[in-house]
């Protein structure tokens, strides 16, 4: 079996083949002969001979409908627009190949097929429970190539329900599209043009008027498209009630929409629904929910169905940019760009965009990473058109890879323009104007300090705590007053609103604001006067709020503490800290005063936290990987699981308290204009399935509310190593049905019950505490300022909602970029320091593979049975929601059973592909030794 990385390597060096046979295609006399001419593999020929009678019976019905098989042949082309191994033989659509070229193309495609790709199971629950050999299974099974799948479907293409028994004993039930239905994307335009003209691959989009009417009548559905990153032919949009997902099968169904786009889909007529093999395992990475749809889209066979197709793209959220590699196509005026992300189609780019010597020396660029932007994707082509943006450098190097990620996800990392910088104060060092001081509460003599990561330079929040004579406490949260420097509507405000968030990579930060602001003038650095927005409470030791004050202020931080410093103070309440153990402290405030303030805050925070969780809040802590970097090269020297400790919890509690208080203030004043943050409840269907699985596994967990879920996770497990690992896996499983929290304008979301934040279990919430790195917080500061001081209506509702939507998009992209940056650095670490051994726990089991959580590093990897060295055979079975694999090792008498929560030993090893790595399952006997 070739591994995925070998397939990709072959892709780089392989050159296209061209047929010398220019003869015209002879007419085919029956469907059986046409099939053989389309697919010349001996395996498939044997297969067709075995079922020749069945296919001819179907063909007689098919021939009564003109041109039906031509449409099916087009269907074969459609899923070649993107392939798992990123390789094609021509930049033109396959239909333009000569007969012999087409045969060679299909033969070459099958030869280089990635054998580890996740496909519908053909080895599941065999009659008699036979073990399947990973070495021989490819010969026993039906063809796995997308073209093979479609030709197999072609034998029943007339709405006929055909029972097929494969040579290895599998019973397939195929309900195919009706060829006569005009709504089929394959059939539209099939009679257009004469001989040699291009045929329609995708449907034409509906008009905006048709879409508007269809949405009003409930005939169309609008939603954001998600494409499975590991199975690029599978995509989803949320159902109208947002409780489950609707499945889109194949590239044609997506109709040129890309991941993240807002699309409108049409539910296909029931006679066009197509079921997969009855043994299929319906699992999507992260958030799959495809076993059945809501009542309107109910399954007819209990398996996955083709239900919808994209008819309109409302908004192209995807950047249309991708990183990838160039392939030379001899005698063509263009080169082929193969994106690294298989969810993006291959792109034809003009040779003029390529390096000058690319045509003469294409091998010199086989490992060069490029950025390409899609400019067009015609309805009659499998391939998009595009232009090369730039050459990034060698694949596998951190900086080129990082730049590619930033461009692909539309992160603006350019230098700020002179026009933007002109909005900043000119006279440096800057001091607070006397007239501004008179407008604010002066807190410069108070013991106020910051607690942040040791490397942080944008310090936007500070804390204070002093005990009152009556035993209560005056606690303050002080936030950088960024809105003072960012004047609404000027060039600085425009660029900040466009960026919307700072983006944190492993090695650097892409700031939302110029560094003069985020690291100097706004940052609450120690021993300098700074402008702030403060909320000050009078609290009891138990955390009950007795009084609250909001207003603009001036502070002077007395010390910059790291989380480590604060944690040391919490863990040693009686210790007398020396000046050498801490950063410089303002002489006005002795170290002991700071220490006592931290201890008091910690005590109150513990009480606030306990109250929150008693009140029904939820926190799902997942393992987070951090890196130790070389200060000069910025290469990873080591990595570790980030520890979330009491000092982190202390800061979090008071930030939450400030955000909740601010949300209530601005909503009270601006019930139609407040910018709040809501967290929708998890998808009900997925939660029901998770509950069923947990019940079957004997895990007592209550998923009916956020609070009961939190209680279950924190009381059902012990402290030993196994149960701690099991809790981590279960936490990941519980996070999959969860939805993203969203900014919104209260005047747009009419039902107040929809304002609720599910995880925090509070009716109103917003973001107020990080204006240096989040533009949403700047809007909230402006609303708060209007509420407290000017009482004028300053922002239009449409502007608030537009900015809320933009902030949601940018926050989601930022999160993805952070994840990719971490993956990039861990790939480098594995390459430089690997192989790495670790214990892992199984998170999920599919028919031919299983997912593990690598406990030492907190990364998730998929292990494919067919790639396990030393494995003789494996068997899959599923009872209810519980899936199980039985592995039989070579020369090993016992078997290994893999199910959810199984502990295994793995080794992380670098792949041939740049910065990619795999998890290798170790034999049980090796693990024990």
Mention every residue, 6+ apart, whose C-beta is less than 8 A from residue 815.
none
Element (H, E) at 745: strand 742-745
User: How many Å apart are CA 245 and CA 236, to the nearest integer?
Assistant: 6
Spatial CB neighbours of 580, under 8 Å, sequence gap ≥ 6: none
Rg of the chain (C-alpha set): 30
Please answer whether residues 764 and 667 qualify as being in contact, where contact means their C-beta atoms are separated by less than 8 angstroms. yes
Q: What is the rounded CA–CA span in Å between residue 833 and residue 786?
A: 55
Its sign, for the CA torsion 920, 924, 926, 929, is positive
Token pair of 475 as six digits = 């606690």
| Beta carbons of 242 and 680 less than 8 angstroms apart | yes
E runs forming strands in 819-880: 836-845, 849-854, 859-864, 871-879
Contact 254, 306 (CB under 8 A): no
Under 8 Å CB-to-CB from 502, ≥6 apart: which residues?
458, 509, 510, 511, 512, 513, 518, 772, 773, 774, 814
Is 203 annotated as a binding-site member? no
Q: Residue 849 corresponds to which tokens in the numbers above?
A: 């593979």
For residues 686 and 243, give the distance between their C-alpha atoms in angstroms, rounded to a whole number.
8
Helical packing angle, 646-669 and 775-785, nearest 10°: 50
Q: Which residues of 891-905 are buried (b: 16+ CB within 10 A; e: fewer)?
A: eeeeebebebebebb
Alpha carbon distance 541, 518 (integer Å): 34
CA distance 121 to 327: 33
**Residue 924: CB partners within 8 Å, gap ≥ 6?**
889, 892, 894, 896
- The answer to whether the Cα torsion of 610, 616, 617, 622 is positive or negative is positive
Q: What is the 3-state secondary structure (H, E, C) of 265-315?
A: EEECCHHHCCECCCCCCCCCCCCCCCCCCCHHHCCCCCCCECCEEEEEEEE
458 among annotated binding-site residues = no
Dist. CA 816–CA 821, nearest whole Å: 9
CA atoms of 109 and 80, how far apart (whole Å): 10
Q: Which has the closest alpha carbon to 35: 143, 166, 115?
A: 143
DSSP 129-196: G--B-TTTHHHHSPP-SHHHHHHHHHTTTTT--EEEE-TTS-EEEE-PPPTT-TT-TTTTTTT-SSTT
On whether the CB atoms of residues 594 and 610 are closer than 8 A, the answer is no
> For 338, which DSSP code?
E
Cβ-in-10-Å burial (0-12, 13-18, 19+) of 434 comes to exposed
Contact call for residues 562 and 451 (beta carbons, < 8 A) = yes
CA distances from 794 to 255, 499, 533, 676, 782 (A): 42, 22, 19, 17, 9
Is the distance from CB of 381 to CB of 201 less than 8 angstroms? yes
In whole angstroms, give the CA distance from residue 568 to residue 715. Answer: 28
Helices (H) and strands (E) in the chain, counts: 24, 34
Could you list the residues known to form a binding site, using ranges. 452, 461
Could you list the residues known to form a binding site for Mg(2+), using ranges. 452, 461
């Amino acid at each position: 079996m070739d591994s995925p990385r070998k397939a990709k390597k072959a892709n780089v060096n392989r050159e296209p083949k061209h047929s010398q046979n220019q003869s015209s295609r002879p007419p085919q006399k029956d469907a059986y002969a046409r099939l053989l001419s389309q697919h010349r593999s001996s395996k498939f020929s044997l297969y067709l001979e075995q079922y020749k009678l069945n296919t001819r019976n179907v063909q007689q019905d098919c021939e009564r409908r003109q041109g039906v098989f031509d449409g099916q042949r087009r269907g074969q082309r459609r899923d070649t627009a993107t392939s798992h191994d990123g390789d094609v033989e021509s930049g033109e659509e396959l239909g333009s190949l000569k007969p012999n070229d087409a045969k060679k193309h299909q033969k070459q495609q099958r030869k280089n097929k990635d054998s580890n790709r996740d496909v519908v199971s053909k080895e599941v629950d065999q009659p008699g429970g036979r073990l399947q050999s990973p070495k021989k299974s490819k010969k026993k099974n039906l063809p796995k190539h997308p073209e093979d799948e479609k030709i197999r479907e072609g034998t029943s293409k007339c709405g006929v329900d055909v029972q097929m028994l494969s040579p290895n004993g599998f019973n397939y039930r195929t309900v195919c599209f009706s060829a006569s239905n005009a709504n089929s994307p394959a059939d539209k335009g099939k009679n257009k043009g004469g001989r040699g003209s291009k045929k329609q691959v995708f449907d034409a989009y509906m008009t905006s008027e048709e879409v508007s009417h269809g949405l009003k009548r409930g005939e169309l559905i609008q939603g954001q498209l998600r494409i499975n990153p590991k199975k690029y032919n599978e995509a989803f949009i949320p159902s109208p009630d947002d409780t489950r997902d609707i499945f889109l099968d194949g590239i044609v169904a997506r109709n040129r929409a890309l991941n993240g786009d807002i699309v409108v889909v049409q539910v296909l007529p029931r006679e066009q629904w197509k079921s997969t093999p009855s043994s299929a395992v319906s699992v999507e990475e992260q958030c799959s929910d495809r076993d059945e749809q809501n009542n309107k889209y109910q399954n007819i066979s209990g398996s996955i169905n083709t239900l919808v197709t994209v008819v309109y793209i409302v908004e192209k959220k995807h950047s249309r940019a991708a990183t990838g590699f160039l392939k030379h196509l001899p005698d063509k005026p263009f080169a082929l760009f193969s994106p690294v992300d298989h969810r993006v189609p291959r792109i034809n780019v003009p040779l003029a965009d390529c390096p000058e010597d690319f045509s003469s020396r294409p091998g010199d660029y086989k490992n060069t990473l490029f950025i390409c932007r899609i400019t067009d994707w015609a309805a009659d082509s499998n391939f998009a058109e595009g232009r090369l943006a730039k050459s990034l450098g060698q694949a596998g190097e951190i900086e080129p890879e990082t730049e590619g990620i930033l461009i692909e996800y539309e992160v603006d990392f350019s230098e700020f323009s002179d026009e933007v910088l002109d909005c900043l104060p000119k006279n440096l060092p800057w001091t607070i104007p006397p007239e501004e001081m008179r407008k604010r509460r002066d807190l410069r003599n108070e013991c106020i300090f910051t607690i942040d990561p040791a490397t942080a330079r944008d310090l936007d929040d500070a804390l204070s705590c002093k005990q009152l004579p009556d035993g209560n406490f005056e606690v303050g949260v002080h936030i950088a007053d960024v809105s003072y420097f960012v004047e609404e509507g000027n060039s600085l405000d425009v660029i900040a609103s466009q960026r919307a968030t700072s983006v944190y990579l492993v090695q650097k930060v892409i700031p939302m604001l110029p560094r003069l602001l985020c690291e100097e003038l706004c940052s609450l650095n120690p021993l300098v006067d700074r402008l702030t927005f403060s909320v000050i409470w009078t609290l009891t030791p138990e955390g009950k709020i007795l009084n609250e004050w909001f207003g603009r202020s001036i502070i002077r931080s007395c010390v910059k503490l790291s989380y480590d410093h604060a944690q040391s103070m919490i863990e040693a309440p009686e210790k007398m800290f020396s000046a050498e153990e801490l950063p410089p402290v303002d002489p006005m405030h002795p170290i002991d005063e700071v220490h006592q303030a931290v201890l008091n805050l910690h005590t109150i925070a513990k009480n606030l936290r306990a109250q929150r969780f008693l009140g029904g809040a939820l926190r799902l802590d997942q393992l987070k990987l951090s890196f130790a970097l070389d200060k000069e090269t910025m290469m990873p020297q080591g990595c570790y699981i980030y520890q979330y400790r009491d000092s982190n919890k202390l800061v979090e509690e008071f930030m939450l308290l400030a955000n909740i208080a601010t949300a209530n203030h601005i909503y009270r004043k601006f019930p139609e204009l407040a910018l709040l943050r809501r967290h929708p409840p998890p998808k009900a269907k997925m939660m029901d399935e998770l509950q069923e699985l947990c019940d079957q596994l004997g895990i007592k967990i209550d998923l009916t509310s956020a609070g009961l879920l939190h209680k279950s996770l924190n009381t059902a497990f012990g402290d030993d190593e196994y149960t701690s690992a099991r809790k981590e896996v279960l936490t990941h499983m519980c996070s999959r049905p969860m939805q993203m929290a969203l900014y919104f304008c209260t005047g747009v979301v009419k039902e107040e019950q929809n304002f609720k934040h599910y995880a925090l279990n509070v009716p109103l919430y917003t973001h107020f505490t990080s204006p240096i790195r989040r533009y949403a917080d700047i809007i909230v500061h402006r609303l708060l300022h209007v509420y407290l001081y000017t009482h004028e209506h300053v922002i239009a509702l449409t502007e608030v909602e537009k900015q809320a939507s933009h902030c949601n998009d940018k926050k989601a992209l930022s999160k993805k970029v952070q994840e990719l940056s971490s993956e990039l650095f861990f790939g480098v670490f594995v390459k430089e320091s690997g192989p790495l051994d670790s214990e892992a726990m199984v998170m999920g089991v599919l028919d031919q593979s299983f997912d593990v959580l690598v406990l030492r590093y907190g990364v998730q990897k998929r292990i494919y049975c067919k790639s396990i060295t030393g494995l003789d055979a494996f068997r899959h079975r599923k009872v209810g929601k519980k899936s199980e694999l039985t592995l039989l090792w070579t020369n090993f008498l016992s078997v290994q059973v893999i199910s959810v929560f199984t502990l295994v030993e793995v080794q992380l090893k670098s792949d041939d592909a740049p910065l990619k790595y795999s998890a290798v399952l170790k034999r049980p006997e090796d693990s024990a030794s």
